A and B are shown apart, each in its own frame.
Chain A
Amino acid sequence: MSASLTLRQVSFKQAKRQTIFPTSITLPYGTRVAIVGLNGAGKTTLLKLIVGELKLTSGKIEYSNGRSLSQLIGTAQLGYQAADMDALSELTANEYLQLCCTLKNYSPTKMKHKISCVNEQWDLEKILGMPVKKLSQGNLRKLSIAQAFLGEPDFIILDEPTQALDPIEQERFITNLLGLEHHHLCLFSSHHISEAVRTAESVIMMHQGAVVACLELSNTRNFWIVSQQSPSDFNCIAELEINLNYRGKYKNLYEVREPHLSPKELQQVALKHNLEVSILGDHSQALMPIFNLLANDEL
């Protein structure tokens, strides 16, 4: 069965932690999804909610057609790499992977095979015999990503995986993710837009605990606009489906779905109706402008 992930009105509220406002997302089968956002946007919190490290305040998360997280874990179909992982300094890298395998309930023979797979995939040969404590930050991160890939689980959740990776390893990460078979769902967070664009098929952009936009990078039909106008102001353009996606402090972010007008034509129509609109472009084009608007606190 191919993997899918559905968040239904998921929210989280706790003192000292980033609040997540009610969010509903459906991540389709076999996709690579990047979560991007500024520091403190709530990326890690959302990922921890998805893997059950934090308890939902409300809402529900479904994995692959209604499966619960507990059902998923029981079948070792969840691989998770946490951003705040530190080294289990008393083990070698190989022992660490063995421990992960035993906890995933693999038999010794299976374990050997699984470790050799991730070794090949992530080029761990040089570090396998080394104590984890002695590994550099980059190698430690590589090891922790590798453990998430052990056994090729259906769901691979990675929290800032490329942090501390050198360019060669970043490239390997991108290659390995692109090489994932279609039944895997990989969700990873990142600060790097370019990496997200190269690796992911969809990007979830977060800001201050809310999902600002879900961008399907292959979608060139719909496009995004920002405007100070309220959604009702657009009622005068009845022929267009303009959806409010994020209500900002200064401007609102809208997605124009299935438009019969080009972005330029839309801008002209808006001018005619005295509506101030900025066109951001289609899904892949809008990614950077939205990020800049958020970074410069203009949204």
Chain B
Amino acid sequence: MQSQLFIKLIQRKLSAKLLLIVGLFSLAAMIRFSFDNFLFLQSQGISGLSVFNEVLIPLAGLIVLLQIITTILHCTLLTSGFYQKGQGFLIRHSASQPSQIIGSIFWVISRYSLIYLGIFLGVIFALAGLTNFDWMRIASLLLGMLLAVLSFNLAAIIVSLRITKLILNLVILSSITLLLLTLDFMLLDWQVEHWWRGLFLPLLNFREGIISLADSLHYLFLICALFALACWQVSFHFARKRNLFIGLLMLMASFAVAQITVNFDVTSSQRNSLSKQIAEQINSMGEPLKFIAVVNDSSTREEIQRGFAILQSTVPGSELEFRSRQSLGPEFNHAGEFIQLNIGELSQSIAYPFEQPIKVVIESALQSMVVRKSHWITFVEGHGEASPFGKKTSDLKALYHELKAMGWPIALQDLTNSEGISSNTKLVVVAASKFPWLPGEDAKLLRYLKNGGNLLLLVDPDSELPDSIEKFIGISRIPGTLVDWNGYQAGTPHPAISIVQQHTDHPVVASLDSILAFPWSSGLSLPPSTEDFEYLPIVATHSAVWNELNVDAEKLSFDEDQGELQQSFVVAASRTNLQNKQKIVVIGDSHFASDSAINNYANKQFSLNLFSWLADQEVAKLANVRASDAHIEPDQTLHWLIRWGYGVFLPLIFAIWSIYSWSRWKRLE
């Protein structure tokens, strides 16, 4: 009854109605925008997408903001409204228990926060049928939002109970909120969150799916403290001193728990935990791990700190240091923003912004630091190959940066001038030779291969490749360029871009379930496996693809009479020497990894998986790069629901209902 009357005191105010309408429409606009944006990015084949990151997190941010604004206004209208009208004594003289009054006010204020959370849940459930959400992470986010907003609501109630003037209350509450937010950022910047967790800071951990004991207890004690202090504010009679004592005690407890470092990574992909294997390897080195970050803005620092927290949880004793560019010595020869990991003499720099989740970036860096000491990736040059240092769109500069970020030392080697492939080479890459090899060059590579060296061979339909090498490998190209008319009709810019969805259970693609694009590729022909050699297809096209023998023709069409074949073509295959474990991969295309195509679909991930597998690294670890909710295929109903249901009709219904109920009250007036 008391709550209902408090609700009426807010609900019948025009300002409260208008705020709700504006809030709901801005939320609706955000829902539409983030959903459309995700679909656009998805259609562009951008890798590393996640519905959680691209849709839910921006929505959650807006919802928290709306909840804060709503609380400020409602607290002002309710509590200061009472006092400004000389009715404050009704609360102060109440025979009800203070907890009952504060409970009612708290429920009324928080009730509106729950409207936004309800809509948020609606969006989550609408999307849940079409993508594979990490529900534990969502639960963690919701819990964090709820705890942060409830704490803020109680803090706002305490402030409002102190100030009797409406406008003054509005100004002071807004200022205090800004101050609290600033304080949170300062805690983050000064890295003193182990002293005090702040009001909104723990939300960052909850958002990532990290449920830390310190955060949970902090919120628990903080809510108890704020509730007791709010009771103390209104308790003229019942246990006033007791409430103050409990409030201060709980507040101290919320300070004390900040020291606890027990964290639980509740995400299904364990995205906030380093793999045990890497952690053990790093810990076994017995040297301190130093994390130096040269970054500018606060959001970058936040990401770095989150990454460092992941590292620190498994590698205790790690240190984080933020450095300004001016303070760097000559040993830091990296341009732009970057982080550098140091263990003893080992060092690994990673350029910022990261293109993968920070956990994967750190894991890759650590992994490569552990294993790379004598391992190089050598790109063969001298025959017009796609270069890792070139600037053309057909070059592999983006791939080079990715490999470098993984910690691989990259080298170029011209076989004409050298005696052979360097002995510290872990993997040789031949990226589509355009010109014939000089005599003797093939022998140098053959020698490397015969010694058990691994090879990645990228061959376009027009690539030159010494017969001796092709013969050694045993995998040959099928003449012609693969044409995928279905893919073209589905939206690829050219029919010669083959869309590949048929993945095998080969380790390279076992963790991939999204499509790949191979522009101007050739099909491969594999010999049967023998006792010594295992030939396995990695990916294959669908069966409507044909090998066009005249790809430059004005009109492309399948012509069986010319000997063209329409079938499923193997585009990538591997040859494993079962005796010495030598790995060779042949891809009927070099463009998929070039700068122009590497960011399309899952090409980058496929490329990195190839290198990891060929360099005897664990591919599975990198599989986390692709989020489980990376893809949605909305049907017509979902389109309608998100764009019109949540985007227009829901706020419109709320608005009409709000205006109707308000006008009814006005008519009564």
Binding site for B on A (CB under 8 A): 51-53, 69-71, 73-76, 78, 80, 82, 84-88, 90-92, 95, 98-100, 102-105, 108, 111, 131, 133-134
Inter-subunit contact B95/A88 (CB<8 Å): no
Quick check: is B94 within 8 A (CB to CB) of the other chain?
Answer: yes
| Cross-chain contact B89 with A51 (CB below 8 angstroms) | yes
On whether A104 and B85 interact (CB within 8 A), knowing A90-B9, A99-B5, the answer reads no
Q: Which partner residue on chain B sits nearest A85 by CB separation?
A: B86
User: Which residues of A sit under 8 angstroms from B81, Cβ to Cβ?
Assistant: 88
- Which residues B42-78 have CB closer than 8 A to chain A? none
Assess A90 versus B8: contact at CB under 8 Å? Given A80-B93, A82-B86, A102-B96: yes
Are A103 and B240 within 8 A (Cβ)?
A: no
Partner of A52 from B92, B101, B669 at Cβ < 8 Å: B92
Q: Say whether B85 contacts A102, CB under 8 Å.
A: no
B interface SS class: helix
A95 neighbours in B (Cβ, 8 Å): 5, 8
| Bound Cα distance from A92 to B237, whole angstroms | 29
Q: B90–A103 contact, CB under 8 A?
A: yes
A53: chain B residues at CB < 8 Å are 89, 92
Which residues of chain B are within 8 angstroms of A98 by Cβ–Cβ distance?
A: 1, 5
**Which residues of chain A are near B1, meaning CB under 8 Å?**
98, 102, 108, 111
Instruction: Indicate if B126 sits at the interface (CB-CB under 8 A).
Output: no
B13 is an interface residue with CB less than 8 A from chain A = yes
Instruction: Return chain B residues, CB-CB under 8 Å to A100.
Output: 90
Q: Name the contact of A71 in the complex, choosing from B90, B92, B94, B237 (C-beta under 8 A).
A: B237
B86 pairs with A99, CB closer than 8 A: no
**Given A88-B85, A98-B1, A102-B1, A73:B93 Cβ within 8 A:** yes
User: Does A88 contact B87, Cβ atoms closer than 8 Å?
Assistant: yes
B238 touches A (CB below 8 Å): yes
Q: Which residues of B contact A (CB under 8 A)?
A: 1-2, 5, 8-13, 81-82, 84-87, 89-96, 100-101, 236-238, 240, 665, 668-669
The answer to whether A103 and B2 have CB atoms under 8 Å apart is yes
Q: What 6 new A-B contacts, CB under 8 Å, besides A95-B5, A103-B95?
A: A73-B94, A86-B84, A86-B86, A90-B9, A90-B13, A102-B5
Once bound together, how far apart are the Cα atoms of A103 and B86, in whole Å? Answer: 16
The contact of B82 among A74, A76, A88, by CB within 8 Å, is: A88
Counting from the closest, the 7 A-B pairs by CB-CB distance are A70-B237, A86-B85, A76-B95, A90-B12, A103-B94, A102-B2, A105-B95
Residue of B nearest to A53 (CB): B89
Closest to B1 in A: A102
A134 touches B669 (CB 8 A): yes
Closest B-chain residue to A68, C-beta based?
B237
Residues of A within 8 A of B101 (CB): 103
Question: Complex formed: what's the CA distance from A264 to B10 in Å?
Answer: 67
- Contact yes or no, A74 B89, CB < 8 A: no
Given A102-B5, A103-B94, A103-B101: A74 in contact with B237 (beta carbons within 8 A): yes
Complex Cα spacing A51 to B84, Å:
18
Q: Report how far A85 CA is from B85 CA in the complex, Å.
A: 6
Q: Which residues of B contact A92 (CB under 8 A)?
A: 668
Task: State the CA gap A75–B237 with chains docked (Å).
Answer: 10
Q: Which residues of A contact B665 (CB under 8 A)?
A: 90, 131
| Contact (Cβ within 8 A) A73 B82 | no
Residues of B within 8 A of A111 (CB): 1
Chain B neighbourhood of A74, CB < 8 A? 95, 237-238
A136 to chain B, nearest CB (A): 14
In the complex, are the beta carbons of A133 and B669 less than 8 A apart?
yes
Interface centre among B2, B82, B87, B668, by most chain A C-beta atoms within 10 angstroms, is: B87
Complex Cα distance, B240 from A70, in Å, reads 10
B90 x A52 contact (CB < 8 A):
no
Nearest-Cβ distance from residue B99 to partner chain A, whole angstroms: 12
Which residues of chain B come closer than 8 Å to A82, judged between CB atoms?
Answer: 86, 89
Determine the distance from Cα of A99 to Cα of B2 in the docked complex, in whole angstroms: 6
Q: How far is the CA of A73 from the CA of B93 in the complex (A)?
A: 6
Task: Enumerate 29 A-B pairs (CB-CB under 8 Å) in ascending A order.
Answer: A70-B236, A73-B94, A73-B236, A74-B237, A78-B93, A82-B86, A82-B89, A85-B85, A86-B84, A86-B86, A87-B85, A88-B81, A88-B82, A88-B87, A90-B8, A90-B12, A90-B13, A91-B8, A103-B2, A103-B96, A103-B101, A104-B96, A105-B94, A105-B95, A105-B96, A105-B100, A111-B1, A131-B665, A134-B669
Interface centre among A51, A74, A102 (most CB of B within 10 A): A102
Q: List, in ascending order, chain A residues with CB within 8 A of B240's CB.
A: 70
A69 to B95, CA, bound (A): 12
Q: How far is the CA of A71 from the CA of B92 in the complex (A)?
A: 13
> Which residues does chain B contribute within 8 Å of A70, judged by CB atoms?
236-238, 240
Of A84, A91, A108, the contact of B9 (CB 8 Å cutoff): A91
Query: Which A residues are CB-close (under 8 A) to B89?
Result: 51, 53, 80, 82
B7 to chain A, nearest CB (A): 10
Q: B100's closest neighbor in chain A, by CB?
A: A105
A108: nearest chain-B partner, CB-CB: B1
Q: Are A131 and B668 in contact (CB under 8 A)?
A: yes
- Tell me the minimal C-beta distance from B669 to chain A in angstroms: 5
Known A-B contacts A88-B82, A90-B8, A134-B669; the reply to A103 vs B91 at CB < 8 A is: yes
Complex Cα gap A52–B234 (Å): 13
Of A86, A87, A99, A131, the contact of B90 (CB 8 Å cutoff)? A99
When C-beta atoms are compared, the residue in chain B nearest to A131 turns out to be B669
> From B77, which residue of chain A is reached at the shortest CB distance?
A90
Residues of A with C-beta under 8 A to B5: 91, 95, 98-99, 102
Q: Which residue of A lies closest to B97 (CB)?
A: A105
> A80 to chain B: closest CB distance in Å?
6
In whole angstroms, how far apart are the Cα atoms of A90 and B669 in the complex? Answer: 9
State whether B9 touches A88 (Cβ < 8 A).
Answer: yes
A73 vs B236: C-alpha distance in the bound complex, in angstroms? Answer: 8
CB <8 Å contact, A84 and B236: no
Most buried by B among A73, A78, A82, A111: A73
Q: Which residues of A contact B84 (CB under 8 A)?
A: 86
Q: How far is the CB of B282 from chain A (nearest CB, A)?
A: 62
Residue of A nearest to B11 (CB): A90
Expressed in whole angstroms, the Cα–Cα distance for A105 and B96 within the complex equals 5
Q: How far is the CB of B3 from chain A (nearest CB, A)?
A: 9
Using CB atoms, name the residue of chain A closest to B668: A131
A104 and B94 in contact, given A82-B89, A88-B82, A131-B668 (Cβ under 8 angstroms): yes
Contacts of B236 in A (CB 8 A): 52, 69-70, 73
Q: Once the chains are docked, how many angstroms separate the CA of A290 from the CA of B84?
A: 36
Closest A residue, CB atoms, query B666: A131
Q: Distance (Å) between the CB of B160 and the closest chain A CB?
A: 16
